[in-house]
Chains A and B, each alone.
Chain A
Amino acid sequence: MIGVLSYLIFFLILALTFGIAVMGLNLQWGFTGLFNAGVAGFLAVGGYTHAILTGPARDAVFGGFELPFIVGLLGAMVAAGVVAIIVGLVTLRLRDEYLAVATFGIAVSIQLVAVNWEYMTGGTLGLIGIPNPSKVLADGPLRQNAIYLALVVGVTLLAYIGLQRIVQSPWGRVLKAIREDEVAASSLGKNPTRVRLEAFTLGCSLMGLSGALYVGFIGFVGATDFLPIITFQIWTMLIVGGSGNMKGAILGAMIVWGVWTGSGFAISKVVAPEWQAQSGALQAVLIGLILVLTLLMRPKGMIGEDVTVSRHATDL
C-alpha cells in the first residue's frame, strides 16, 4: 500500500512538472499556432539555471551561489524567457514548419552546449547535489516527496490560474485570431509580431520553470535529460489532452506520462529479457501510436477548445 502511494506521489510530481511545460507549449501552439519543436532546449535552460543558482560550490565549475529554491525557479523562468526573446527575434518571422526546424536545431545546439561547456554545466558528468527543499522539511522519502508534490501542485495551480486569466482576455483573443488567420488578423489591425513574441516568451519561461522543478526534484541535471524525445513527449501530451485547452494540457500530461511509465513497467515484466534493452524504443513506439490514434479518432484531443475566448464574452 505504501509502495503504491509512494509511487503515485512520484508519478504525480513528474506528470505535473511536465504538465507545466505542456501548458507553455499550449500557449504557443494551442493558442498562437507557433510550432515550437525545441521544448527540450528550454527545459534545459531552466534546469541548468536552477542547478547553477541553487547548487553547491564545485571545483572548476561556475556557480556555488546556494540561493533559495524559489530564486532558482524564478531565475529559470527569466533565463528561459531571455533565451526565448533572442530566439524569437530571430525566428518568429518564420512560418509553421520552418519555425519547427529552426527551434529544433536550437534545442539540439543547447543540448550540445550543455555537453561541452564544462565550466558552466559540468559537461557529461552534469551537476549533482542540487538541494531539494523538501529534504530539510521532513524525514523519509515518502514525506519528502509528499511535500514536493504539494509544492508542484501549488506551482501548477498558480500557472494554470495565471494562464487562464491571461488567455481568457482580449490578449488571448488576438493570439487565437493570429493562429486562425494571420493575414486576416493583420488586416483587422493586429500586429502579429508583438503578440507572437509575447506568447513565445511566456510559453518558454514556463518550460524553464518545468525544467527547474524537474531538476530540483531529481537533484541532478545532465545533458541526457534533454534529448529531442522529451520534446516529442511534451507534444504528444498536448495533442492527446486537447490543444487550445489548459485543462487538456494537464490531463494529457497525466495520460501520456502514465502510458510511458506504465508501459516501461509492463515491458520489464512481460517482454523477454533479450528484448529489454529495446524497452525505451518500445515505449517511444507506444507513445507514437497514441499520438496517431488521437489524431485519427479524436483530433481535438480529450478536451477540445472553447469557441469563446474572453471571459467577458461569456453569458452570465
Chain B
Amino acid sequence: MSLLALSGVTKRFDGFTAVDGVSFEVAKGAIGGLIGPNGAGKTTLFNTLAGIEVPDEGAVSLDGIQISGRAPYRVFAAGLARTFQIPRPFPEMSVLENCMMVPSAQAGEAFWANWFLPGRVGAEERATRAKAEEIIDFCGLTRVRRDAASTLSGGQLKLLELARVLMADPKIILLDEPAAGVNPSLMRDLVDKIVALNDRGHTFLIIEHNMDVVMSICDPIMVMAQGRLIYRGDAAGARADKAVLDAYLGDVH
C-alpha cells in the first residue's frame, strides 16, 4: 500500500515552473530514489512535501492524510521528517541536545509545565535522553555527543541530520543527498545504516546523485527533469529508458 502519494504537484516561482505536475507513490517499507540533473526540481519538491513551500496545484497525502499546504511543523507531526542537502544543525547546541529537541509534544516544551509538572518533565527528559544516546550510538556520534554541533565535520553533520530525524519515529524519512560530500568509507557506512533502518521498517525517499547508491538500494526510482517526472520504475528499467538516458545519464555517457 502506498504511504506517500503525490498527485499533480506543481510549484511555480514567478512564472518559472520548478515542479510540474509530479505524481508518484512510495509504498510503506520502500526506499524510493529521486534522481535527476541539477535544477530538475528535486529539492523544491522536497521543500513542497515538507511544507516549506506551498504547492500551487496538486496534493500530497501521507498514510491517507492530506499534508500539502500545512506548516512544516504540522507536516512533521503527521509523520514526515526530512534532512537538508546542506546540513542545518543547531550549531551552538550539543549533539545530544540537537537530538533531544526533536520529539514532538514534549511536556517540557510548554512554558507552564516546567513550573507545575516538573516531575513529568524530568521523567520525560530522562526517557528522551536515553533514546537520544541510543540513536547517537547507532549513528556513531557517541564520542562527540557533548560537543557543539558547530565543531563537527561535514560527514558527522550528515550523521547528525540522520540522528535527528530518527528521534521522531517518522512514518517516512526524506533524505536530501545523504552521500554528497561524504568520504567513501563513511558513505558505505551511511548506506548500511539506511538499509539497516529499512530492515527495521523505516520508509525512505532519497535524493541522491551517487548512482551506485541509488541503483543498489532504491526501488522504485523516480527520475525528474525540468520539473517533470519522466520515469518511475526499477533500476534496470531506468538504465534502459531512453528519456532518462537523454535527460540525465546522457551527461555521463
A residues neighboring B (CB under 8 Å): 165-166, 169-171, 173-174, 176-177, 180-181, 183-192, 195, 198, 202, 244, 305, 307-310, 312-313, 315
Chain B contact residues: helix, strand, loop or mixed: mixed
- How far does the Cβ of B151 sit from chain A's closest Cβ, in whole Å? 9
B residues neighboring A (CB under 8 Å): 50-52, 71-73, 76-77, 81-82, 84, 88-94, 96-97, 100-102, 104, 106-111, 114-115, 121-122, 124-126, 129, 146-148, 164-165, 168
B100→A176 contact, CB < 8 A: no
Q: Which residue from A170, A173, A189 sits with its C-beta under 8 Å from B77? A: A189
Q: A169-B121, A187-B82, A313-B129 are in contact. Are A307 and B93 (CB under 8 A)?
A: yes
- How far does the Cβ of B22 sit from chain A's closest Cβ, in whole Å? 20
Q: A186-B73, A312-B122 are in contact. Are A173 and B97 (CB under 8 A)?
A: yes
B114→A173 contact, CB < 8 A: no
A170→B108 contact, CB < 8 A: yes
Q: Which residue from B73, B82, B96, B107 sits with its C-beta under 8 Å from A190? A: B73
Q: A189-B76, A189-B168 are in contact. Are A170 and B101 (CB under 8 A)?
A: yes
- Assembly CA distance A174 to B124 (angstroms): 15
- How far does the Cβ of B152 sit from chain A's closest Cβ, in whole Å? 12
Q: Which A residue sits closest to B174, measured CB to CB?
A: A187
A188→B76 contact, CB < 8 A: yes
Q: Which residues of A contact B125 (CB under 8 A)?
A: 170, 310, 312-313
A169→B108 contact, CB < 8 A: yes
- Assembly CA distance A191 to B104 (angstroms): 10
Q: List 30 A-B pairs, Cβ < 8 Å.
A: A165-B114, A165-B115, A170-B106, A170-B107, A170-B124, A171-B108, A171-B109, A171-B114, A181-B90, A183-B52, A183-B72, A184-B84, A184-B90, A186-B52, A186-B71, A186-B73, A187-B50, A188-B164, A188-B165, A189-B73, A189-B102, A305-B92, A307-B97, A308-B146, A310-B108, A312-B122, A312-B125, A313-B96, A313-B125, A315-B146
Which of A180, A189, A310 has the largest count of B CB atoms less than 10 A from its CB? Answer: A189
- How far does the Cβ of B160 sit from chain A's closest Cβ, in whole Å? 11
- How far does the Cβ of A210 sit from chain B's closest Cβ, in whole Å? 21
Q: Which residues of A contact B146 (CB under 8 A)?
A: 307-308, 315
Q: Which residues of A contact B73 (CB under 8 A)?
A: 186-192
